[in-house]
Amino acid sequence: MKKVNIITIDGPAGSGKSTIAKMIAKELALKYIDTGAMYRTITLLAIENKINLEDEKSILRLARKSRIELEGNPGNENNYTIVKLNNKDVTEKIRGREVGDAVSIVSKLPGVRKFLVGLQRKLAKDGSAVLEGRDTGSVVCPDAILKVYLTASMDERIRRRKVQNEQKGLTIIESDVKNEIIKRDKIDSTRKDSPLIIPENAVIIDSTNITINQTFEKIKKIYHERIYSKN
């Protein structure tokens, strides 16, 4: 895989990965690959077909027969990527509570991860993409020209997730948001296959006390330095 123009952004829930990845992709005219959306799509597939969420073989059997597509929509900041499952737009469905509560179960299945990593590498094969998720720099594209590990304090991550929910018109209790993040962190960091780790040679950015724009400018600056040093 060509590593020129491949940027990976990993980090825990609420660290700002999606927002930053979209900004970088739009600014640099790179493809935006939301790996988390792909795991949510497989989860939705299992739910709609009433498959036990831990039945890896059945989920994979159906997934291999299905078609998952990510279409860029940079003109809409709130709906930057349109996700299609078997030619049907499921962008809103995969962000629903039912999928959100179940995705951690499906995403820890080794076979599912291997299957989706293959799809993610195909999407990034032209070497011009920003991948965002939890193993994009450590597993999917370990040779990316720039690997970023984005993090923030627990309080700040809770605040951001709460704001996101409010923007969607959802009233969420802060303690519920905290428990959800803690649960997701534990699952992501302790799963046997592709756990959330800081990728080798990654640039670690703690965005707790800096703005989104400052984080964006910092990553963009490092990216340009890497690109120019290769030429």
pLDDT in tens, 106-128: 999 999 999 999 999 999 988 88
Least confident of 24-33, 147-156, 216-225: 24-33
Strands 68-72 and 81-85: antiparallel
The band of 226, judged by pLDDT with boundaries at 50, 70 and 90, is confident
pTM comes to 0.88
Q: Which CATH number fits domain 6-230: 3.30.460.80, 3.40.50.300, 3.40.50.720, 3.40.50.620?
A: 3.40.50.300
Give residue-wise pLDDT tens across range 176-219.
888 888 888 888 888 888 888 999 999 999 999 999 999 999 99
Give residue-wise pLDDT tens across range 65-79.
999 998 876 555 556
Q: Which residue reads 């534990």 in tokens?
A: 186
Strands 81-85 and 88-89: antiparallel
Q: What is the pLDDT of residue 74?
A: 57
Element at 181 (helix H, strand E): helix 174-190
Q: Name the packing angle between helices 17-28 and 212-230 (round to 10°).
A: 50
Sheet with 31-34: strands ordered across: 31-34, 129-133, 6-10, 146-151, 203-206
Residue 169 has pLDDT above 50, yes or no: yes
Beta carbons within 10 angstroms of residue 20's beta carbon = 26
Residue 3 has pLDDT above 80, yes or no: no
The band of 230, judged by pLDDT with boundaries at 50, 70 and 90, is low
Separation between Cα atoms, residue 221 and residue 189, nearest integer Å = 29
Q: Enumerate the domain spans of the chain.
A: 6-230
Separation between Cα atoms, residue 93 and residue 85, nearest integer Å = 11
Q: What is the pLDDT of residue 164?
A: 76
Residue 18 has pLDDT above 80, yes or no: yes
Nearest to 68 by CA among 99, 114, 35: 35
